[in-house]
Structure 1
Amino acid sequence: MSGRTLEVLIVEDEMLLAIELEHLVEEVGCHSLGCAMSSDEAVDLAEKLHPDLALVDVHLSDGPTGVDVARKISQDCGGVALFMTANVKRLPDDFAGACGVIGKPYSEHGVKTALGYLSYCLTEGHAPGPAPVGLTLAPAYAALWGLDDVMQRTA
């Protein structure tokens, strides 16, 4: 993945929010592959486009199906999901294979900082330091990116 632009799929059923996220993705130097508003649309796009990262809301137009979408993207499509949701408590302990979560409401600055951080992690294979404020990493990804020691010190 190193040396190329991160390709991001947005899975969000609120159109204005999806458009805003698309702009933020582009502003941090990533490439938006488009937006999906339902679980079927998200899985179809992920299977066709193989995103590096998918920004996934838990509650989509067809119900609380975002957890299934994240699991499918991480297991079958070779991508990494990041939850962006007001429903943080609905996430399973294993984060459904996602790398983490940003809770809603979130700020433009927070999303851009998190995207920059994740872009580094996904490109370099390790974290540049602790996760920025507003981004909670899944334990499996914290370990993968070498943050076990940092996580234990801050816990």
Structure 2
Amino acid sequence: MDKKVLIVEDEIFVALEIEQIVEDAGFGVGAIAADRAAALAAAQDCDIALVDLNLRDGPTGPQIGMELASQHSIRVIYVTANPAQIGEAAVAALGVITKPFRPQSITAALKLAAAEQPEILAAEIAGFTPFPPPGSWNGMESRG
């Protein structure tokens, strides 16, 4: 695939594990960033971002996700042990993968993000919680 993934994670061993999963899934890694400045500097070359919430510079992940989506049109997926911290930044993302994660969850979420029109059927990916596009809650059926 020709999509590049930005990994925003400050724990190096977690970042390297995610990097291996991304590459095994057939995606390229554009960069690994441990804070907001590095993430935004690498954004121009990336299509998808896997973003942790609590980074080297504090709980900046939600703001980074918002900036990557709005300023760089990057499809964002949060990867965190604290999904409740996402808050309003959920509107910028396709969804969240909760740590500890399964490699299959990241692979499936990347394929979803690379799709031309990702669907809410993402609820079927184990460990992935999709966020509906803004304004789409009305009339949505439960897939529980």
TM-score by length of 2: 0.87
In the alignment, does 2:4 pair up with 1:12? no
Structure 1 counterpart SS, 2:141: helix
Amino acid aligned to 1:43? L
In structure 2, C-alpha distance between the alignment counterparts of 1:94 and 1:36, rounded to whole Å: 19
Structure 2 counterpart SS, 1:9: strand
In structure 2, C-alpha distance between the alignment counterparts of 1:148 and 1:24, rounded to whole Å: 35
Amino acid aligned to 2:62? V
What is the count of residue pairs matched by the alignment?
143
In structure 1, C-alpha distance between the alignment counterparts of 2:73 and 2:112, rounded to whole Å: 20
Aligned to 2:56: 61
Structure 2 counterpart SS, 1:153: coil
Structure 2 alignment gaps of length 5 or more: none
Structure 1 alignment gaps of length 5 or more: none
1:96 positional shift: 4.5
In the alignment, does 2:34 pair up with 1:41? no
Alignment of 1:1-155 (within 5 A): 5-46=2-43, 48-49=44-45, 51-93=46-88, 95-120=90-115, 124-127=116-119, 129-131=121-123, 132-140=125-133, 143=136, 152-154=141-143
In structure 1, C-alpha distance between the alignment counterparts of 2:67 and 2:121, rounded to whole Å: 28
Q: CA separation of 1:35/1:94 partners in 2, compared to 1, >3 Å: closer, same or farther?
A: closer
Of residues 82-91 and 129-138 in structure 1, the stretch that sits farther from structure 2 once superposed is 129-138
Q: CA separation of 1:136/1:11 partners in 2, compared to 1, >3 Å: closer, same or farther?
A: same
In structure 1, C-alpha distance between the alignment counterparts of 2:21 and 2:138, rounded to whole Å: 29
Once the two structures are superposed, residues 104-125 of structure 1 have per-residue CA deviations (whole angstroms, 9 ceiling, x without a partner) of: 11112222222223323xxx31
Q: CA separation of 1:130/1:70 partners in 2, compared to 1, >3 Å: closer, same or farther?
A: closer
Structure 1 counterpart SS, 2:76: strand
RMSD: 2.3
TM-score by length of 1: 0.81
Q: CA separation of 1:148/1:6 partners in 2, compared to 1, >3 Å: closer, same or farther?
A: farther
